[in-house]
Structure 1
C-alpha cells in the first residue's frame, strides 16, 4: 500500500515548519511574527537590555532560516526556540561581560596614561620653579646648595672647596632652604610645592 504524502493530518505548527523548511519565505514571516515577541521577552529576562534582546531575536530567526532543512525534525517548536534563545542570550551575556572588562581596562589604561601625563607636567613645573628659586639665592648660598644638595657633598667637603668652615656652610645651607621654601610658597601651586619640599 502506497504511503500518503498528504500533510493534512499534521498540526498547524508542523505544517508551518515544513513550509519554512521548503524555503517558503511567507511561512517564515508567519513564524517570525508568531514567535518573535516570545523570544524577545525571554531574552530580555536574561539580558535586561532592549537592544541586546532584539539582537537575540534576529540571531535566533537567522539561525532558523539558515538551518531550515532540519526544521522537519522538530517536535516541539516553542521548546526548541526557548533552548535556542537561551543559548544565544547566554553567549550575548558573555560578550557583554567581555566588553565590560575590556572597557574597564581601557578606562584604567586611559587613567594611567592621563596620570602619567599630569605627573610629567608637574615635574616639569617643579624643575622650572625650583630653578627660578635657586637663581634668586645669594651667590654663596647658591653655591653651597648646589654642592651639598645637588651634588651630594658633605658640609666638610663643601667647606674645603669653598674655603669656608663647616659651620659657615651649614648656616648658608639653612638660609638657602629657608629662602627656597618661602619663595615656593609665594609662587608655586600647592601640589608642586609638596613635591619640591620633598626634593629640598
Structure 2
C-alpha cells in the first residue's frame, strides 16, 4: 500500500476506486479535499454549525459506503446533490418534530408509566440487545464503548488503535443498522427512534 503522502496526488476517480475497497488513507485524502465545500454548503442551507457538521459526516459516510465508483461521474456535483438532500431531509424532520411536539404538548397531560409500559420497555431492550448482537465484532465493540461506557470517539480510537474517523464511521453504520432492524418492530420503533435518532 502506498504511503498517505502519495495518495494526495491521486485523481478523484482513483480515490473513489480505492475507497470502494475500504482504503482508509484514500478516504482521508478525499475527506480533507472536499470537506470545506460540503460544510460550507450545508451551513448555508441549514444556518447551523452543529447541523452542518452532522451533514458532513452523513455525506462522507455515504461516500465511504460507495461500492460502485464508476456511477459517480462528477464528484463535486455528486457531493453537492447529496449534501443538499441530507440537509433538506434534516429541515423536513425539524418541521415534523416541531409540529408533533406542539401537538403532544397540547394533548398530553401526564405520563403514567404503568406495569404494561414497563413490560414494553423491557421487550424493547431485548429487541435492541438482539440487534446489537448481530453487529460485526469490531462495530459491536465500538458501539458498546460509546453507548455503554460513554467514551468519546477519541477515547475509543485510542483504545481500539483506530482513527477517530473510522470510529465515527463504524458508530454511524451501527446506528443505521439498528434503526433499520427496529423498523421491523412497529410497537417499539418510536421509543428506539426517540433514544437513538439524534445520534444518527
User: What TM-score bracket applies, with the shorter chain setting the length?
Assistant: 0.3 to 0.5
Which one has the largest radius of gyration?
A: 1
> Which structure has greater helix proportion?
1
